[in-house]
Structure 1
Amino acid sequence: MALLITKKCINCDMCEPECPNQAITMGAEIYEIDPNRCTECVGHYGTPTCQKVCPIDNTILQDPTLIESNEQLWEKFVVMYHGDRL
């Protein structure tokens, strides 16, 4: 599943530069994650880097409305980075 930044976000700017998929951008009030680009760092790291660097606990969570398996996240990664070779 894609990740979701909750309203607990303090706009500290820590998560955005850490996202290897450039899925995090500033929204109207807080940072937002583009679910089409978020692979939960599958293909890059073992755990989501945005969650690791966020100074506020439970601010970046799995989005329960966008359930994806690890296989689906891997496929999204492959298409984003190697789609021209498929």
Structure 2
Amino acid sequence: MKLKLTPTQNLCVGFLESGFKLMQFDEQFYFVKGERRQKVLPKTLDALVNRGALEHTKQGDYMLSDEFVAHRKKMRQVHETKPMQH
């Protein structure tokens, strides 16, 4: 798994972590939550799958991979335990 994400890829992960659902309408993908909708390019989703952040299920859905979720949780814990330096 490649852990470095581009800002756009990181934004996509943030949408999923904050409860947005990834939906496809015709050929276009969107993050949807309530009335809010954000377009996402298929090549961005493919890059996230290739980096190991997303899994593409047999049903055609995209979801954060268990490995990536564990990595993010670990990174948050490391960040929370480090004292801030000014």
TM-score of the superposed pair, with normalisation by structure 1: 0.33
The structure where strand makes up a greater share of residues is 2
The structure where helix makes up a greater share of residues is 2
Q: Which has the higher contact order (CA 8 A, sep 6+)?
A: 1
TM-score of the superposed pair, with normalisation by structure 2: 0.33
Instruction: Determine which structure has more spread, i.e. the larger CA radius of gyration.
Output: 2
